[in-house]
Structure 1
Amino acid sequence: MNRWLHTAASLCLGVLCLLPLGARAQAFPDHPVRLVVPFPPGGTTDILARMLGNALGTEWKQPVVIENKPGASGTIFSEQLARTPADGYTLMVTATHHVINPALYKNLRYDSRKDFTAVAQVAAVPNVLVVNPDFAARNQINSVADLIAYAKANPGKVNFGSAGTGGANHLSGELFKSMTGVSMVHIPYKGAAPALNDLLGGQIPIMFDSVPGVLQHIKAGKLRALAVTSLTRSAALPDVPTMDEAGVKGFEATAWFGLYAPGNMDPKLLAKISGDVLAALRSPSIQEQFAQQGALPGTMTQPEYASFVNAEMDKWAKVVNDAQITIQ
């Protein structure tokens, strides 16, 4: 009897393997899915990935397991993902770093355009310039204008932290420096969460970070928000001016987050996963959760997102090269 069951199971498995790709795509997933964040826990990428993972787990009726695999601005796990089977069971949620890294790292052991499949844009969020309240009170910094005046009076003595060299929050700081003429020192960290911890502890005085990553600390009075980096105010911080309103005219630096899979994914499986992600992002639950974090859910189709990713690589390559930014 047991031998008969074993034979029957083997035959069933063989039949499943012979199913057309479209049928197998529709059956996806039939076991847990790994959703990897290539940054430490607690940052914006991690927050959004966990919200998306919960929604997809409900849709797929399979566990979506969040794993944090930080290192080298996301490049360490990106290299692993590039060598993973494109079966949909290992996916990555990462930040704008992914399209900036090719310009920063000259010896990446993967091809950023060929070795990944751009599945869906998860969210777009403005950064916000935040200051440690003790530093602000001690130096009478209550606005962007106050910060500019202080930095000009103390060249090279104001440090700003970031999640790592070349990331969206680092480039926000570099743009601020170039547009205001201030001299500040960049302090890169291995992720947004460690930088935020030092900002809260007073080891660094200011930081550009995404709204979701610092919103709870702003509301608790542990950080003071001076301005958001989008051209319109954030719904999560309606009383905080834009950088443009605060006097730095035309300033705009918005971060975005995306879902990736290994390259050469079967088109039917890609359509299945991207469609499920877009459906999850349209759900009232995700809309409300993202709004509370100051994030706008992605709405691009998969081809639109793939085109957007390629354009972003070109744009940030020029910014990095013009600013002569290098990995320290």
Structure 2
Amino acid sequence: MYRRQLPIIAAATAFTLGRPALAQTGWPSRSIRIVVTFPPGGSSDLVARVLADVLSQKLPQRVIVDNRPGAGGTLGAAHVATQPADGYTLLLSNTAPIVTSPPLYPNVAYDPAAGFTHIAYLGATPLVIMVNPRQVPANVTDLAGLVAWAKAQPAPPGYGSSGAGSVHHIFGEALMARTGVRLTHVPYRGSSPMLADLLGGAIPIGFDTLPQNVENIRSGRLRAIAVTSPMRQAMAPEVPTTGEAGFAGLLAENWLGFSAPPGLPAPIAAKLHAEVTAALALPPVQRRWEELGIALRPMSQAEFTAFVADQVKTVGGAVRALGITAQ
């Protein structure tokens, strides 16, 4: 579906945006790479490819996607951090390589806040807490009820995540610290095998991003307990928030952004921010973001830089405080 949409986005961009002169900086004079720290097919990869197509129509050079997965996203991020600050290597930054993974990998060779030029915020996707309806009673419909049910079990129920050290795992640890409930973490190599076991009944509870689970929730194969965002989500308005269940501040999201090596010249950073902001305003891009469940909010480059620093301090600090490891 994604590939069929690219001509639509390209056509819209060609008529909506012109090709400006960049003679003042000479940038770009060759192709630009967007490094994605996860394999093809995930939300980071899909977002990068949509924006690469749009930017290729606007800029006088091609923009390509370079997938460099590994070590919770830190391998790709480390690669970008050591590249020349010339605007030709960008990072599709997100929660993992910038916030949650650095505390888990002691040999990370970059500063996630100061070690990049943070350019633009691309949006965020909340998590959804789900249960297998054959294993968790029908009267458990919100987070308070789930916590009470789990506390009443003779052994800690298992919850699945996409992997040790993932935002799903970190949320599970934060949930236990906040509520005093005991759960058993069951890490998987990605969301797909976790969902297969959740649907099959091997685990009663699972945490995952919301969009890819909407159909399972609507069909009744899974029951949504809460979304980890401040507000209910348009794609699943019936699902309450963690705050509505009495746990204000117990939030989690996978945010996405554009970053570059440190020291990127201000004119190039400003140009990239302007181009990305214009791309995000295009109706085809906004429709694709809605399909992916990515919530947008305006941020200047300075605001995004401050946002990253706060995430590194608060969420990254929580990872350290909770004693979470990548094992």
TM-score of the pair, normalised by structure 1 = 0.80
- What is the aligned partner in structure 1 of residue 120 from structure 2? 120
CA contact (8 A) 1:159 1:206 kept: yes
Most deviating of 220-229 and 298-307: 220-229
- Determine the structure 1 residue equivalent to 2:238: 239
Deviation string 1:153-186 (CA, Å, 9 cap, x unpaired) is 3355422232333432222222222233221122
Structure 1 contact 278–298 (Cα < 8 Å) conserved: no
Q: How does 1:97-136 map to 2 (within 5 A)?
A: 97=96, 98-131=98-131, 135-136=132-133
Matched AA of 2:289: F
Counterpart of 2:123 in structure 1: which amino acid?
A
Question: What one-letter code is carried by the residue in structure 1 that aligns with 2:133?
Answer: A
1:314 Cα offset (Å) = 1.2
Following superposition of structure 1 onto structure 2, how do residues 1-328 of structure 1 map, counting pairs within 5 Å? Answer: 22-25=24-27, 28=28, 30-31=30-31, 33-60=32-59, 62-97=61-96, 98-131=98-131, 135-141=132-138, 142-144=140-142, 145-154=144-153, 156-200=155-199, 202-219=201-218, 221-328=220-327
Cα deviation 1:248-290 (Å, max 9, x = unaligned): 4553333311212122212211111121111111222222221
Greater Cα radius of gyration, structure 1 or 2: 1
Distance 2:303 2:315 in 1: 18
Aligned equivalents of 1:292, 1:304: Cα separation in 2: 26
State the alpha-carbon separation in 2 of the partners of residues 96 and 44 from structure 1. Answer: 12
Q: Supply the AA of the counterpart residue of 1:175.
A: A
Q: How high is the sequence identity, in percent, across the aligned residues?
A: 40
Q: Mean alpha-carbon deviation: is it higher for 76-85 or for 151-160?
A: 151-160
CA distance in 2 between counterparts of 1:155 and 1:85 reads 56
Which residue of structure 2 aligns with residue 16 of structure 1?
none
Distance 1:42 1:314, change over 3 A: same
**Residues of 2 paired with 1:198 and 1:55: CA distance?**
38
Give the unaligned 5+ runs of structure 2: 1-21
Aligned residues: 303
Structure 1 residue 238 displacement after superposition: 0.8
Does structure 2 conserve the Cα–Cα contact (< 8 Å) formed by 1:73 and 1:191? no
CA contact (8 A) 2:160 2:205 kept: yes
Q: Secondary structure at the match of 2:133?
A: helix
Structure 1 residues 55 and 196, CA gap change in structure 2 (3 angstroms): farther
AA at the equivalent of 2:47: L
CA–CA separation in structure 1 for the residues paired with 2:59 and 2:317: 40
> What do you get for the CA RMSD once the two structures are aligned?
2.7
Could you say if the C-alpha distance between residues 112 and 307 of structure 1 is closer, same or farther in structure 2, counting changes exceeding 3 Å?
same
Q: For structure 1, list consecutive stretches of 5 or more residues without a partner in the other structure.
A: 1-19
Contact 2:30 2:61 in 1 (8 A): yes
Cα shift at 1:126 = 1.9
Residues 111, 283 of structure 1: alpha-carbon distance in 2 compared, 3 angstrom cutoff: same
Task: Tell me if structure 1 keeps the 8 A contact 2:121–2:257.
Answer: yes
SS at the partner of 2:103?
helix
Q: SS of the counterpart of 2:242?
A: coil
Report the residue type matching 1:101 in the other structure: S
Alpha-carbon distance in structure 2 between the residues aligned to 1:72 and 1:199: 25
CA shift for structure 1 position 21? 8.1
Output the CA distance in 1 between the equivalents of 2:175 and 2:54.
Answer: 36
State the distance in 1 between where 2:295 and 2:133 align: 30
Counterpart of 1:140, as a letter, is: P
Distance of 1:315 and 1:34 partners within structure 2: 30
Deviations 1:127-147 (A, max 9, x none): 11123xxx3224424523553
Shift of 1:122: 0.9
- Asked whether the 8 Å contact 2:122–2:257 carries over to 1, the reply is yes
- Offset of 1:240 from its aligned partner? 1.1
Q: Which moved more, 1:154-163 or 1:258-267?
A: 154-163
In 2 relative to 1, CA 101–117 (structure 1 residues): closer, same or farther, beyond 3 Å? same
> Offset of 1:61 from its aligned partner?
6.0
Shift of 1:309: 1.0
SS of equivalent residue, structure 2 residue 305: helix
- Quote the Cα distance in structure 2 between the aligned partners of 1:152 and 1:55: 50
Cα 1:253–1:139 change in 2 (3 A) is: closer
Is 2:115–2:262's contact at 8 Å kept on the other side of the alignment?
yes
